[in-house]
A and B are shown apart, each in its own frame.
Chain A
Amino acid sequence: MTTNSNAGKHAQTPAIYPAKTKAQITIIFFAVIGFYLYSMIRTQAEMVGGFGNALSDMWRVMEKFFPPNFQVVGAIWPAMATTIQMAIIATTVAAILTVPLALLSAQNVTTFKPLYYVTRTFLNILRTIPDLVLAVIFVGLFGIGVFPGILALIIFSLGILAKLISETIEAVDMNPLEAMRASGANTLQMIFYGLVPQVLPQFTSFVLYVFEINIRASVVLGLVGAGGIGLVLDQQLGFYNYPNAMTIIIVIFVVVIAIEYVSNKIREALI
């Protein structure tokens, strides 16, 4: 009975999407496919050649890395500790500097439009600079060492943190803040009493997340002379001392996994 009447009405059943939307999506889909095909044809020669050579070389290179020389673990540990310290200092400083910047770039707190746009633009520019470029600039300015690495990490993580936290602030429930304003509280009191409790769990979670990123980033920064384990790795590769390099890579791997595990557990407990 029901099926019959449905079959009868079939011609009148409306489509889920209007015909115009369907046509648009189809055109976009084929345009994207076409773009992939075109770029494949343009680059195919180099890609296949590249893979072919790499595959034949791979075993030869890999053999040099094994077995890793685990006797150097004791010797590289101080450098690894330096890398972790860099990440800790940079994350801490960035977490502190983020607070005013995130507040100034949140539309619901900074109602004075020009100030909001200036901070927002400043943060956007900050985020467009890659961390490696920052490190190269600071190493050029301050010389090889830990300090330029920390500076690069601070600016790099400030960009990410301020953006993430200002968006959290904008999603906050403004009603309690209105209640506090109605009872004569000033802006600072409203922020500390109404806003901070709502943002704190996410804030902590983001800081831990940025700390993880900073550990990995500080390894890479070491390659351009910004101190820590990356610098040692670069030296060992430079001396063609592959077993030592392999040990360093394994140590980095273990440390990063351990830190990610711990910080994941903390974040799960927070949210």
Chain B
Amino acid sequence: MIEFKNVGLVYPNGTEGLKNVNVTIKDGEFVVIVGLSGAGKSTFIRSINRLVTPTSGELLVDNEDILTYRGANLRKLRTKIGMIFQNYNLVKRSNVLKNVLAGRLGHTGTLRSIFSMYKKEDVALAYESLQRVNIAEKIHNRADELSGGQQQRVSIARVLTQKPSYILADEPVASLDPPTSHQVMTYLKKINKEDNITTIVNLHFIDMAMEYADRIIGMRAGEVVFDGPASEVTEKTFEEIYGRTIREDDLRGGADES
């Protein structure tokens, strides 16, 4: 369970990233955060694994305030939270299997990982994760030989190998074409259901948010302006969140093609 209690974040340059955010996310939920760029979606998501640190309030993950964590505590917290990025963030020169094994780093001793002496079950787990996203035949290819959609699947496999309780995805489909976007979202949804992993996804495409989310949180200027089940959301809701009418480029489209 993730609980935001009056969380605020002011960046050193004075920008307010989050303003008095109160949100509770229950285990197993599939939450999509929507909002324009600069609305605080990334700040919200990155607060949960402390890639950024909120400056006020309390942020509880599994009933522990994570804002006081440092060093080993922080690394332990991060091992149970997987993250997926817009630019996939793979080591381009390393092969796919090695990239996926990087998900085990938090569970592996420093010396062991430096000499690539992974446990047999870790390698097996990495291979199994790759099979789950249907890319197991590429294990020895270099990451930069893959297409964007394939790279994002490898990064999903990396997160699976981490065996997390939570998955954060920061604009996972923003660099992909419509059919590939739907494929990636389908994998995320499937993993959420099969492994019961709480998943929080940042999106700015409203049609995708409505299609995949259980629950939608709308943000504007660092504040949560909407929070409710996806079934209650209409185009009207999005116009309120965005503070303007919905345009063509707010939609990803292509749902039927995939």
Docked complex Cα distance between A185 and B158 (Å)? 13
- CB of B134 within 8 A of chain A? no
Query: Is B78 a contact of A193 with CB atoms below 8 Å?
Result: no
Number of contact residues on A: which range applies? 20 to 34
Q: Does B206 contact A (CB under 8 A)?
A: no
Q: Which residues of A have CB within 8 Å of B77?
A: 184
Interface size for B (C-beta < 8 A) is 32
User: A192–B76 Cα gap in the complex (Å)?
Assistant: 20
Contact bitstring B67-92, A, C-beta under 8 A = 1, else 0: 00000000111110111010101111
User: Which residues in A have their C-beta under 8 angstroms from that of B106?
Assistant: 183-185
Do B83 and A182 have beta carbons less than 8 Å apart? yes
Give CA–CA (A194, B106) in the complex, Å: 14
Query: Chain B: which residue is nearest A175 at the CB level?
Result: B89
Asked whether A197 and B105 contact (CB < 8 A) given A175-B87, A181-B51, A189-B113, the answer is: no
Task: Report yes or no: B91 in contact with A183, Cβ–Cβ below 8 A.
Answer: no
Which residues on the A side are within 8 Å of B159 (C-beta)?
183
Q: Which residue of the partner chain, among A175, A193, A200, contacts B113 with CB atoms under 8 Å?
A: A193
> Out of A176, A182, A192, which one reaches B81, CB within 8 Å?
A182
In this complex, which of A173, A185, A197 has the most chain B Cβ atoms within 10 angstroms of its Cβ? A185
Interface residue ranges of B140-178 to A (CB < 8 Å): 155, 158-159, 162
Q: With A182-B78, A185-B102 in contact, do A193 and B110 touch (Cβ < 8 Å)?
A: no
Whether A179 contacts B85 by the Cβ 8 Å rule is yes
Is A186 in the interface zone, CB < 8 Å from B? yes
A198: Cβ under 8 A from any B Cβ: yes
Q: What B residues does A180 contact at CB under 8 A?
A: 102, 105
Q: Kindly provide the distance from the CB of B202 to the nearest chain A CB, expressed in whole angstroms.
A: 14
**Contact across chains for B102 and A183 when beta carbons are under 8 A apart:** yes
Compute how far the CA of A204 lies from the CA of B191 in the bound complex, rounded to whole angstroms: 42
CB distance from A74 to the nearest CB of B (A): 46
Closest to B107 in A: A184
CA gap between A198 and B93 in the complex, in Å: 6
* Complex contacts, A125 vs chain B, CB 8 Å: none
Nearest Cβ in chain B — how far from A179, in angstroms?
Answer: 4
Shortest Cβ distance from B74 into chain A, in angstroms?
Answer: 8
A45 at the interface (CB under 8 A from B): no
| B96-111 interface (Cβ within 8 A of A) | 98, 102-103, 105-108, 110
Decide: A181 near B90, CB < 8 A? Known: A193-B102, A193-B105.
no
Tell yes or no: A188 within 8 A of B by CB.
yes
CB of A186 within 8 A of CB of B75, answer: yes
Name the interface residues of A189-229: CB closer than 8 Å to any CB of B.
189, 192-194, 197-198, 200-201
Residues of B within 8 A of A178 (CB): 51, 85, 89
Listed A/B pairs (14) with beta-carbon separation below 8 Å: A176-B92, A178-B51, A179-B90, A179-B158, A181-B78, A182-B51, A183-B106, A184-B76, A184-B78, A185-B105, A193-B113, A197-B91, A197-B94, A201-B93
Give 5 new A-B contacts, CB below 8 A, not counting A179-B85, A197-B91. Answer: A180-B102, A182-B81, A184-B78, A185-B105, A198-B92
